[in-house]
Amino acid sequence: MKNIFHLIKFIYDSISYREKLIFWLSLIVNSVSSFTPTLILYLTALIIGKLSHQDFNNLYLFSFLFVFISLFANTLASINNFISDTLNDIIWSTVKTNIFESVSLPYRLSIFEDKEKRKQLTMSLLFGDEVDSSIPSLMAVIFGFIHLLPLVILISTSIWWAPFIILASLVPFVYISVVSQKQTWDVMDKHENEFSSMRIYERVLTQPEFAKEIRIFKMQNKMIYKWIHSFKSYF
């Protein structure tokens, strides 16, 4: 859990002021939209109650509010999808740019001469690639909690122990996800040499600048064999 908070802090500190505004705008939109399902549920109950008592004067008002809030919720959902995609692209490009700028500094040439630093660079690049898929998951967890909160409050007014059951059921899933991700990164760190070799062989086999040379010297089969050997060592 501590590593997750460090990851969130690192990503947040890496983005600019404008990008932080986009994040907080997305947070506000999700916070507002999180109450709309609960309001719709509440208004539905009121409409059913009014129908059962045949009070049509208030029924029109509740029906109007029901339709208005539903449209409002759909509008917020569309805005949120746009903001979330934009924020995801911005954070991904910012993290990758910071890595490239750090590596390109003249005094950082030692990175390529030290084995441990090369490993850190490889892991940083992998982290930059993982950010693109991790950000939506991270945002989904944050906003999922926001959307769940009003419903938990509504349930707790009648069944006080229900929120504790909901939270308790989420703990094993979150714990397993965190442990699984940590084990994945540990494996990648342990087999970084094999992974780097695989990337080199892939580049030699697929990039046009090497196409003529490997065919002239008939090195294709050897490169493929080395890639397969590295793959088996890695996995």
Mean pLDDT of the chain: 68
Residue 99 has pLDDT above 60, yes or no: yes
CA distances from 59 to 37, 45, 69 (A): 19, 11, 15
pLDDT at 137: 66
pLDDT at 208: 76
- Range among 30-34, 41-45, 204-208, 231-235 rated most confident: 204-208
CA distances from 34 to 67, 142, 143, 150, 153 (A): 17, 12, 8, 7, 12
User: What are the start-end ranges of the H helices in 157-217?
Assistant: 162-190, 192-206, 208-216
Q: How many CB atoms lie within 10 A of CB 230?
A: 21
Q: How many CB atoms lie within 10 A of CB 143?
A: 19
pLDDT at 191: 66
pLDDT at 95: 73
Helix, strand or coil, per DSSP, at residue 174: helix
Question: At 138, is the pLDDT very low, low, confident or very high (cuts 50, 70, 90)?
Answer: low
pLDDT digits (tens, 9 = 90+) for 141-176: 666 666 666 666 666 666 666 667 666 766 776 677
CA dist., res. 68 & res. 201, Å (int):
59
pLDDT at 195: 72
**DSSP 8-state class, residue 147:** H
Residue 217 has pLDDT above 60, yes or no: yes
